[in-house]
Amino acid sequence: MRWTRTRIAAAATILAIVSFFAVNMTSEVWFSNARVDLTQNSLYTVSKGTREVLESIPEPITLRFYFSEAVSVKYAGVRSHGGRVRDMLQRFESLSGGKIRLEVIDPEPLTEAEDQAVAQGITGAPTPAGEKIYFGLVGTNMVNGREVIPFFLEDREQYLEYDLTSLVYRLIREKKPKIGIVSNIPFDTGAGGLGAAMQGQSRSYMIYEQIRETFDVVFLEQDFDRVPADIDVVMVAHPKPLSPTTQYALDQFIMRGGRAMVFLDPLSEISMQAGPSGETLEGSTESSAASIDTLMKSWGVSVPAANVIGVRDRALRVQFGSDLADYVAWIALTAGEMDRSDLVTADLTDLNLGTVGSIQHARGATTTLSPLLQTTADSMEIPVSKVQGAPNPNVLLRDFVKSGKVFTIAARIGGPVKSAFPAGAPPRGPADKPEQAPLPAHIAEAKSVNIVLVADSDIFNDSFWVQTQELQGQRVAVPVAGNAVFVLNALENLTGSASLISLRSRGTSNRPFEVVNDMRRRANQQFLLQEQALQERLTQTQAKLAELEGKRNAQARPGQAQPQEMLSPEQEAEIEKFRTELVETRKALRDVQFKLRRDIDRFGTWLAAINILFIPLLIAATAFLLWLFGRGRKTAGGSK
């Protein structure tokens, strides 16, 4: 048989079709779990922490994924997200070595599967057509453990791996580490306190809710003579001034190897939040900087109570009147201000904090201070009195003077520590609770301590870091900053668990336009400085006018009537001069705003040009060079 061109073309076509199906079937079997993740934070790659959790599963667990396949066809976003969840669960199943059994269930309307989904706690989201979409997960272990994700919100897609790994982790651990909380912040009831809880209006803080999911939480109140033996970590968060007896209990807990996370604040805005009645909770305190001063001295650190730290190049934008303004007392820290060598902050990308203090290390202290969070050098100390009440952000920005100093906001305290009570337990005061049993033997020194100290308590404030959504009566958190990540990472680290730390830290994807923000801040400050100069000239001109008026009145004869609204030539000249200055200054202010807008627009045009034109031009140039190279080779071959 002769192989004509027609036969060769037909055979090539058949071979191509066979190869196409063969490659697809082979890749489905061999490469079903292969992924190429091009995102900066590798949001679609199974991390080392997840692999460690999956490899440590002691007994089989069952994951039942409820997804309304047929109903979701009309909703592309939900269907796409559902496909990703299913893919991730299948990936978990393949990496678990047979320890995870995955069941995918389509709860069609009016079926037993739908009844089972509802009974298991899966939330059905209503659609405009009157149907319900079920999109949740139930995990069970061999004993009686049960964990539920009622509904996978699209807004939490970037946290998918953490949510799934956290669910598996909760199913396989033997018990929750125990956290003892010492705080004057109403974590469990929110700003309204017990009164709001009784009225059904309380909303616990979301960080506290997430702490409860991971740890066994116990409130130690603020007056006690010992820390219970089963407490793993004590979290001291903006307490009232603690008595010597309570400070001694904390001191001995740390001397015995206990670990602590401490939040002290020169100005705590979260503690002063108004409840439903418009008043703050009784007993609320603005400052906690000196609430455990005896302990702080033994640790060799302090948090000055007189100042908060303002950071101009990390200022948060806030609503002020009808405009937005840069509020230098509220700051948005980025990865550059975080210790990348410490597990707690190694992968953290952003934090939003308000009216923070600074941590200072005493000269000659026996402890070591390792900063976890610091400011940039574009910082300054601001007296607390200037940020109390309702400060004007524009005034703070206008008066800002760069100190060039980097301030420490959070740090890890380590090394040897001597007891803050060298003589033993202090005498009990009348306010102390009666002692129920003899105290353990006094320990005078610890060879090494592990304390995380944060000079802020507003990190817990929901308005700084999270948006909450209501879904069938349940609150779902959609973070915009890593505040909860930092707190949970630190507590996990202090309790000795690290599997989930890397997963939490990679969740946030806040990518601010830092260059544009810096341009705007510089122009805003210039605008405010010119505005201040205008006000000063206005004041000087008014004073001059008053002086001229006084001279004119003094020149009037006794017994004569005063001139009726007659202005002297000097006054007319002064007013004309002021009007000219006013017009010129307003023009200068408009020029500043125009230049700001022009610079930002020019920068945006360059970005658009790079994104839209650069890649196509690069591909075209590469193709052209390859064409020239091939043509050159043909020419060279022909010449031979």
Q: What is the pLDDT of residues 451-464, one digit of tens each?
A: 999 999 999 999 99
On average, the pLDDT of the chain sits at 82
Whether 190 and 196 have beta carbons less than 8 Å apart is answered as yes
Classify each residue of 607-628 as buried b or exposed e, where b means 16 or more C-beta atoms within 10 Å of its C-beta.
eeeeeeeeeeeeeeeeeeeeee
The one-letter code for the residue type at 488 is L
The H or E element spanning position 27 is helix 5-30
pLDDT at 570: 67
The one-letter code for the residue type at 281 is L
Starting at the edge strand found earlier in the chain, the sheet holding 323-334 runs 315-320, 323-334, 350-354
pLDDT at 608: 66
Q: What string of DSSP letters covers 57-83?
A: --S-EEEEEEE-TTGGGG-HHHHHHHH
State how far the Cα of 356 lies from the Cα of 351, in Å rounded to an integer: 12
pLDDT at 446: 94
Mean pLDDT of 406-414: 97
| Range of 90-94, 405-409, 607-611 with top mean pLDDT | 405-409
State how far the Cα of 304 lies from the Cα of 357, in Å rounded to an integer: 7
State how far the Cα of 497 lies from the Cα of 214, in Å rounded to an integer: 11
pLDDT at 341: 86
Mean pLDDT of 387-397: 90
With a CB cutoff of 8 Å and minimum separation 6, the contacts of 80 are: none
Q: φ and ψ at 14, to 5 degrees?
A: -65, -45
Banded model confidence at residue 213, pLDDT cuts 50, 70, 90: confident
- 527 or 7, greater pLDDT: 7
pLDDT at 20: 79
State how far the Cα of 160 lies from the Cα of 154, in Å rounded to an integer: 10
- 175 or 240, greater pLDDT: 240
Using a pLDDT cut of 70, give the percent of the chain over it. Answer: 73
State how far the Cα of 378 lies from the Cα of 396, in Å rounded to an integer: 14
Q: 121-179 pLDDT, tens per residue? A: 898 888 887 888 999 999 999 888 889 999 998 877 877 888 899 899 889 887 889 99
Coil vs helix vs strand at 570: helix
Whether 502 and 340 have beta carbons less than 8 Å apart is answered as no
pLDDT at 545 over 90: no
pLDDT at 508: 47
Beta bridge partners of 353: 331
Q: How far is CA 606 from the centre of its chain?
A: 30
pLDDT at 614: 72
Mean pLDDT of 534-548: 60
Banded model confidence at residue 510, pLDDT cuts 50, 70, 90: very low
Whether 134 and 114 have beta carbons less than 8 Å apart is answered as yes
pLDDT at 372: 97
pLDDT at 583 over 90: no
> Which of 115-119, 450-454, 613-617 bottoms out in mean pLDDT, i.e. has the lowest?
613-617
Mean pLDDT of 598-612: 66
Q: CB 119: neighbour CB atoms within 10 A?
A: 9
Banded model confidence at residue 628, pLDDT cuts 50, 70, 90: confident
pLDDT at 640 over 60: no
- 331 or 475, greater pLDDT: 331
Q: How far is CA 104 from the centre of its chain?
A: 34
Q: How far is CA 363 from the centre of its chain?
A: 33
pLDDT at 539 over 70: no
Mean pLDDT of 402-416: 96
State how far the Cα of 255 lies from the Cα of 194, in Å rounded to an integer: 35
pLDDT at 76 over 90: no
pLDDT at 238: 96
Banded model confidence at residue 46, pLDDT cuts 50, 70, 90: confident
> Which of 174-188, 359-373, 419-433 bottoms out in mean pLDDT, i.e. has the lowest?
419-433
pLDDT at 206 over 50: yes
pLDDT at 509: 43
Whether 34 and 112 have beta carbons less than 8 Å apart is answered as no
H helical segments located in 193-259: 193-198, 206-214, 244-255
pLDDT at 564 over 50: no
Mean pLDDT of 229-253: 95
Banded model confidence at residue 37, pLDDT cuts 50, 70, 90: low
State how far the Cα of 471 lies from the Cα of 233, in Å rounded to an integer: 33
Banded model confidence at residue 475, pLDDT cuts 50, 70, 90: confident
pLDDT at 411 over 90: yes
State how far the Cα of 442 lies from the Cα of 303, in Å rounded to an integer: 28
pLDDT at 384 over 90: yes
Q: Which of 237, 218, 236 is nearest to 179 (CA)?
A: 218
pTM (2 d.p.) = 0.67
pLDDT at 161: 87
Length of the chain: 640
- What does the block give as tokens for 262? 């401490």
